[in-house]
Amino acid sequence: MDRTLPTAAPLAVLNPGGRDAMIDYGDGPGIPGSGLHPPVNFHAYAAATRGAFCDAVEQVLDGRRFGHCLVLLRRRLRPCLEAVRRLQGAGLKVWVAWKECSPFQIAAQLEEPKLWGLYEEVLGLSDAVVTPTLGPPPLPPNLREPRFLQIPTPYPVDLPAWDFSCAPGDRRGIFLGTRELFTASRNHLAALSTALRVARRTGTHVTVINADKSRGRRLLDAVGRGVPAERFRIIESRLPYPEYLRRMAAHRVVFQLDRGGVPGQVAGDALLCRTVCVGGNSAIEQLAFPAESHPNLSDADAASRLEALLTDETVYRAAIESSQQRALQNLSFATVAQQVRDLQGMDGRITDPAHDLS
């Protein structure tokens, strides 16, 4: 479905001193395999507004085409604080967000006592705090509550180049969405064991990505002991993003039991593949797949819902149709760009670089 971006000031996203090179999305998000960083996670805010993802303040200020900058916070908060000061000194409105933004990730980054003073100063200076999850981050108790902007990470479901779907009749099996076998909040082993039981009952297979090398392979071999190889397929390394999406799209269902409270990249990837994501609790899952996500779907009911999607064509097609409609309404580039535009307007600064993504 072709849509055009609304008139909006491009948003600069700054990861101070980060490892990702600067990417200017002034010409749009590009196409898969073009060499640009995929327009997902925090890169997506820049891509949806034809902004830029930067790693230095100078890149944001060069050319002065930005009125707003979203600064990503990390454990090393001092460079983030310095960036906020410099950007505001140059006249920009500054929003902030944790780069690793699940509750567990934020807590781990703030476990050093000396960071709380820096964190309080960053929030006190910022014009707003962006949260792509369903809850705000922890706040220093003496800080007046900042302005929160709940903006989901957008996905280009409205751009034909990013449609990775294949014919429903060509889809087989369960794709396990989580990859971190040894991250407790991912609930990876519970998801894997549930998927393997459902696959046995329905006569299909489970595909899992092993990103943990020999340690991960030993664990997967132990969990899958006795499962025929054709029922348990292991991809032994991470894949380039377009290839990863093509592999996911060849499966009927994506399954996970992630309880991390993350923004939801796995669910967003499933939307690009026009398939169904079952079992997690991310923001995107709860927006696009409410009937398939926790807490609406309990752990006890996850297997039966997964089995229904694998075996009932009417249930499966209805889930795809409803999730795509919700995604267009709540998560598409056009929708989130409009939301950013409205919030920029509330800040009293908006430029007018109208752009068309069609």
Collapsing DSSP to helix, strand or coil, 128 comes out as strand
The domain in which residue 90 lies consists of 11-154+332-346
Is the domain of 166 the same as that of 20?
no
∠59-48-90 over CA atoms, to 5°?
30
Average pLDDT for 8-14: 88
> Rounded to whole angstroms, what are the CA distances from 292 to 187, 190, 274?
16, 16, 15
130, part of any domain: yes
> Rounded to whole angstroms, what are the CA distances from 51 to 7, 59, 60, 340, 353?
12, 12, 10, 12, 10
pLDDT score of 9: 78
Tokens linked to 346: 């509330």
Q: Is 28 exposed, middle or buried (0-12, 13-18, 19+ CB in 10 A)?
A: buried
Distance between CA 186 and CA 143 in Å, rounded? Answer: 32
| pLDDT of 152 higher than 80 | yes
The number of distinct structural domains making up the chain is 2
Q: Other C-beta atoms within 10 Å of 6: how many?
A: 16
356, part of any domain: no
Using DSSP bridges, classify how beta strands 23-24 and 52-54 pair: parallel, antiparallel or unpaired.
antiparallel
pLDDT score of 20: 86
pLDDT classification of 357: cutoffs 50, 70, 90: very low
Mean pLDDT rounded to a whole number for the chain: 92
| Cβ atoms of 36 and 76 closer than 8 Å | no
Is the domain of 128 the same as that of 259?
no
The rounded Cα 291 to chain-centroid distance in angstroms is: 19
Eight-state DSSP code of residue 126: -
Is the domain of 59 the same as that of 69?
yes
2, part of any domain: no
Distance between CA 77 and CA 67 in Å, rounded? Answer: 23
Average pLDDT for 164-181: 95
Residues, the chain, total?
A: 358
pLDDT score of 343: 95
Distance between CA 129 and CA 80 in Å, rounded? Answer: 13
Sheet containing 148-150: order of strands: 23-24, 52-54, 11-14, 68-73, 93-98, 128-131, 148-150
| Cβ atoms of 104 and 185 closer than 8 Å | yes
Is the domain of 117 the same as that of 18?
yes
Sheet containing 253-255: order of strands: 232-235, 206-209, 174-176, 253-255, 276-278
352, part of any domain: no
Contacts of 295 (CB under 8 A, 6+ apart): 281
| CATH value at residue 204 | 3.40.50.2000
Tokens linked to 8: 């909006």
278, part of any domain: yes
List beta partners, residue 94: 69
Eight-state DSSP code of residue 283: H
290 cis-preceded (ω within 30 degrees of 0): no
Mind listing the pLDDT tens digit for each residue in 36-82?
899 999 999 999 999 999 999 999 999 889 999 999 999 999 999 99
| pLDDT of 312 higher than 50 | yes
Main-chain phi, psi angles of 191, to 5 degrees: -65, -40
Average pLDDT for 27-38: 89
Distance between CA 47 and CA 26 in Å, rounded? Answer: 8
Is the domain of 70 the same as that of 180?
no
Average pLDDT for 186-211: 96
76, part of any domain: yes
| CATH value at residue 74 | 3.40.50
Handedness of CA 265, 47, 45, 116 (dihedral sign): positive
Is the domain of 325 the same as that of 339?
no
Is the domain of 43 the same as that of 192?
no
What percent of the chain is helix, strand and coil (3-state, nearest 5)? 45, 15, 45
| pLDDT of 352 higher than 80 | no
Collapsing DSSP to helix, strand or coil, 324 comes out as helix
351, part of any domain: no
Is the domain of 26 the same as that of 139?
yes
Is the domain of 205 the same as that of 293?
yes
Q: Is 118 exposed, middle or buried (0-12, 13-18, 19+ CB in 10 A)?
A: middle
Is the domain of 337 the same as that of 325?
no
Is the domain of 194 the same as that of 316?
yes
Average pLDDT for 111-117: 94
Is the domain of 305 the same as that of 167?
yes
Mind listing the pLDDT tens digit for each residue in 233-260?
999 988 999 999 999 999 999 999 999 9
Eight-state DSSP code of residue 144: P
355, part of any domain: no
